[in-house]
Amino acid sequence: MKIMKFGGTSVGKPERMHQVKDLITRDNQKKIVVLSALSGTTNALVGIGDALAAANKELAKERIDVLHKHYLAFYKELLKTDAARVKADKIVKEHFEFLNIILKISFNEAINRDILAQGELLSTKLFYTLLQELDIQAVFLPALDFMSIDENHEPELTKISDKVKVILANYPGDRIFVTQGYICKNHRNEVDNLKRGGSDYSASLIGAAISAEVVEIWTDIDGMHNNDPRVVDKTRPIAQMSFDEAAELAYFGAKILHPASIWPAQQYNIPVKLLNTMEPDAVGTTITAKELGTGVKALAAKDGITAIKIKSSRMLLAYGFLRKVFEVFEKYKTSIDMITTSEVAVSLTVDDTSHLKEITAELEKYGTVEIDTNQTIISVVGNLIAESKGTVAKVMNCLEEFPLRMVSYGGSRHNVSILVDAKFKNEALRSLNEGLFEWN
Ligand code: ADP
Ligand code: ASP
Ligand code: MG
């Protein structure tokens, strides 16, 4: 069995949904099709939630109406028969009635998560209606029946696996299963989600849950490129990379993959393929355990980083100092990305600043604390970077024009990370692109 996940742009237009239908019926292999919301929908739902959080019901209503119109036009173009259109009309009505009812009740975070779930529910139901219209046999699998996270927001892989297997056993003769990415239930049995871009994570988790042969991530680009194509003009796809390399790139900002989407596949050694819905025969990227080649393969950048420096002369030769510092972050469930130390100071970076005030107050017990906001981590990722002669010198040469706030090297064999002020990000990525890769 394989997993085929299609992102927002792959289902964002009626003709694209038809293309997805073609792609899932190209072979007879059993597959679970994981769909995102139509492109733009989750952003629109975030906008509705924001308006409600600001108690601006008028604006929320306006936004609901704009989205509603979009869906009415969408299904009319997607479906041709009256019977299918009647079904789609019922689906759209049901979900927009739900959004309109929310306008009348008092808003809270759990309701916001319910709002965010509407996108994937709509896309999968409309896609399933298309399959029915075309007489393509398929089974609709509600993700909320099996996808779950615990109180720490971690997916419950064993439970997910047990539940999916029981459900699938009910359909021994079926070949196509359709489910939602992104959405899940939390430990309070409320509707929740796997964070923005989370459909990739759903696909990989479901792949691990059923020991799939492959997890295919179908998107709007022909695989993982060597640099961020939104920032740098000249980029190219990478045909093969290792789980470790892909995980570093995803974690450090390559938007093509959700940051956590590699580990479930890696744990169960399931290949992940990144493929282009608009160019289905392009090679794409295959991610496996194999480590190929040495040297730099790709760059990624993670924005919204805050650097925290704790300076203390007491740190000098004092054992236990770092433990105390880390304990503060642990207490506030804030994970650290980068760390560099000197004899009298330690610098760390975080991307979650929701407890920055409390963390700073506690760290001040140990020394003076300096905070730099608006930083970007640039990650240079590859295989055996340390062993590949001259690589780090080249990286530094490319960055000579920019002040470097932190440099982390040697933590893994796959990565050199550099922290710069966000305003230098684009130029730094371009300069590294020219200096580290050969272009002919
Ligand atoms: P989907 O909606 O299919 O999940 P995303 O927008 O989440 O698609 O991810 C695909 C996008 O990721 C591409 O269109 C591209 O702009 C962006 N991207 C950023 N970094 C990279 C990279 N290194 N390689 C490929 N795409 C990247
Ligand atoms: N629809 C969700 C989002 O836009 C999940 C996803 O597309 O992966 O973040
Ligand atoms: Mg995505």
Ligand 3 centroid to Cα of residue 43, in Å, is 13
Q: Name the pairing type of β-strands 336-341 and 272-276.
A: unpaired
Ligand 1, atom nearest to 197 Cα = 7
Which residues are annotated as part of the binding site for substrate? 42, 120
Instruction: Pick the residue whose CA is nearest to atom 10 on ligand 1.
Output: 256
Displacement of CA 175 from its chain's centroid (Å): 27
Q: Give the integer Cα–Cα distance in Å for 248 and 231.
A: 19
CA of 250 to the centre of ligand 2 (A): 15
Q: Which atom of ligand 1 is nearest to the CA of 226?
A: 23
Q: How many CA atoms lie within 13 A of 368 on its CB side?
A: 4
For residue 267, the tally of other CB atoms under 10 A from its CB is 12
With a 6 Å cutoff on the Cβ, whether 425 touches ligand 1 is no
Q: Is 338 in the pocket of ligand 1 (CB under 6 A)?
A: no
Q: Is the overall model pTM greater than 0.85, yes or no?
A: yes
DSSP letter for 387, please.
Answer: T
Ligand 1 center from residue 320 Cα (angstroms)? 42
Instruction: Return the best residue to mutate from 34, 195, 199, 206 for the ligand 2 pocket (most ligand atoms within 8 A of CB).
Output: 199
Helix (H) or strand (E) holding 379: strand 368-383
One digit per residue, the tens of pLDDT, for the chain of length 440 reads 999 999 999 999 999 999 999 999 999 999 999 999 999 999 999 999 999 999 999 999 999 999 999 999 999 999 999 999 999 999 999 999 999 999 999 999 999 999 999 999 999 999 999 999 999 999 999 999 999 999 999 999 999 999 999 999 999 999 999 999 999 999 999 999 999 999 999 999 999 999 999 999 999 999 999 999 999 999 999 999 999 999 999 999 999 999 999 999 999 999 999 999 999 999 999 999 999 888 899 999 999 999 999 998 776 557 888 899 999 999 999 999 999 998 889 999 999 999 999 999 999 998 999 999 999 999 999 987 877 888 889 999 999 999 999 999 988 888 999 999 999 999 999 999 999 998 76
Residues facing 416 on adjacent strands:
380, 409
DSSP H or E run through 427: helix 425-436
- Best of 120, 182, 218 for a ligand 2 pocket test (most atoms within 8 Å of beta carbon): 182
pLDDT for 315: 66
If you measure from the C-alpha of residue 144 to the centroid of ligand 1, how many angstroms do you get, rounded to a whole number? 26
Question: Ramachandran region of residue 211, left (φ > 0), alpha (ψ -120 to 50) or beta?
Answer: left
Beta strands across the sheet bearing 345-350: 336-341, 345-350, 295-311, 368-383, 415-421, 406-409
Ligand 2 atom closest to the CA of 196, numbered from 1: 9
CA distances from 210 to 169, 180, 204, 243, 274 (A): 11, 16, 10, 19, 20
What does the pLDDT read at residue 294?
84
Specify the pLDDT at position 342: 86
Nearest-atom index, ligand 1, CA of 225 = 24
Domains along the chain with CATH numbers: 2-220 (3.40.1160.10), 298-436 (3.30.2130.10)
